[in-house]
Structure formats: C-alpha cells, structure tokens
Structure 1
Amino acid sequence: MIGRPEPAHSGWRSLTPDITPLLDIIFIVLVFLMLTANIPLQSLEVDLPKTDSAALSSVQDNKAITINLLAGTPAWALQGEKYEGWEQFKPVLQSRVSVLKDAELVLASDKEVTVDKMLKLLAFLQEHQIQATQILMEEGQ
C-alpha cells in the first residue's frame, strides 16, 4: 500500500485549519461590494419656485389656461374640453401654441394618472419653449 510520508515536524501543522477557502470567499465578497457600491444614481433635476404656500394654493389670473390630466378615458382636457388620447390632444395643443406661450399655464392632474402622461406633456411644453407653468397640488392631510 502506498502511503503518504509523515514529515518529522508535522505536529502543529495538522492542528491548524486551512483558511484558504475562507480567504477566497472574503475576497469574492469584497470585490462584489466594491463593484456594486459605485453605481451612479440617475435623477431628474426640478427647479421649484420659492414662494409662500398661500400663493400656490389658488390661481387668480383670468389669462390662465388649464390642462387636466385625467385617470381613465377621456385622458386629457383643455379648458374643460375632454380628449380621448394623446393623438387627439396633441394637434389641439399645437394649434394653440402661441396662445399657450402668452398665457399662464396650469397643469391639474388626478392622483391616479401615470407619470408617462405628465412627461409627455412636459416634453411637449419644453419642445415649444412654453415655460410659464403651474402645477396644482392637493394639500396633504
């Protein structure tokens, strides 16, 4: 039978545990943490006006034009006139771009409206350089 030769000073070596697998696991976890810790977060910059809350709670201008974002169908409204979808609403907005630039624009959205509708409208306004916009919000309770 072939056996392993026993070294003369093998007493203390046989009692210590082999920590090589433990070190391998520690280095793998360390590399994983270093790679995932520096993920850049994407954010959307929003410039909010610095005014008091009493001025934000009511709109007192007669030149204001209101665009409503509604949950369900019809999904859009301009000055109370409702439209089924973005395809029907966008040409109406395009025909009134010059009026929208001169007037104060108020966006009123239902709380159940998805963000993509608001982003479509804001992208349209930015594309046509319409900047005077207020967003109506309900006070928290």
Structure 2
Amino acid sequence: MRDARVSLITLGVADLSRSSRFYEALGWTRTDAGNDKVVFLQGEGVVLSLFGLNDLAEDAGLNAGPLPRFRGMTLAINLTSEAETDRLFAAAIAAGGDAVKRPETVFWGGYSGYVADPDGHLWELAHNPFFPLDAQGRIDLTPPSEEPA
C-alpha cells in the first residue's frame, strides 16, 4: 500500500449548507455519508469534507481563533486549457467565491488564478502545459519507463 496520497481534505467552514452549495456548483457531488456537523463531497479521486469550524477545532483539540486571509497554503485544480480555467473561475465567482487573482499568464509558462471559497480557503485554478492530465484529470509526474534496447 502506498501512503503518499491524499484521501480526504477537510475544510473548516462557518455554514455547512452555504459551503456545500458552493462546491456542488463546481461539480463536487454531495454524498449521504455526513451528518449535522460534517458534509462529504465526492470529487475525482479525493473526498472533500466540510466540517463546522468550531467542531473541527474541537475535534483537533484546538481553539478556533480568527482566521487570517492568507493561511499559508492553497489547494489546486489543474485544467486542460486556459478556456477551462476561465470557465471554472467564472463558475466559482458565480457560486459565491471571491476573486483573489483573475487567471493570467504566469512566469512559469502556465495560466492561473486564485479564488477563495466563502470561508476564505484559497484555490488555485490553473492550466499547466508542463503537467499533462490523464483521462481522469490527474497529474502524473512519474517519468516514463525506458524501453529496453
């Protein structure tokens, strides 16, 4: 079994219904696995968990203090083209997200922008021509195996 993977991402949120509607508008599928404190949404190869912020802090044994606008991390969705990046960015804004940085050509040769969900969780939406996506939309940076001579 390989341990180098992400199976579940949990975000602390102020309003489960509002956050669930936001992510469902972006294509995540709400499941029946949750309860009144947590919502589970199925994505491509990962589950997104939305947990009430205070309940999540309590579960971790921490105090839920005020959150800074920049939390030192982002999540990313890589897309197949600049047009797809623009489409998802517009969908995120229409669903209640905050346009932090509109998609643009960036120094590393790709195209990306940033949107914050209704609770300020920062998502990078990007097209990276150096990271081709497979049929399931996954990045695989494993070098191709060499053919025997």
TM over 0.5: no
**Structure number having the greater strand percentage:** 2
The interval holding the TM-score normalised by the smaller chain is under 0.3
TM-score by length of 1: 0.24
**Structure number having the greater helix percentage:** 1
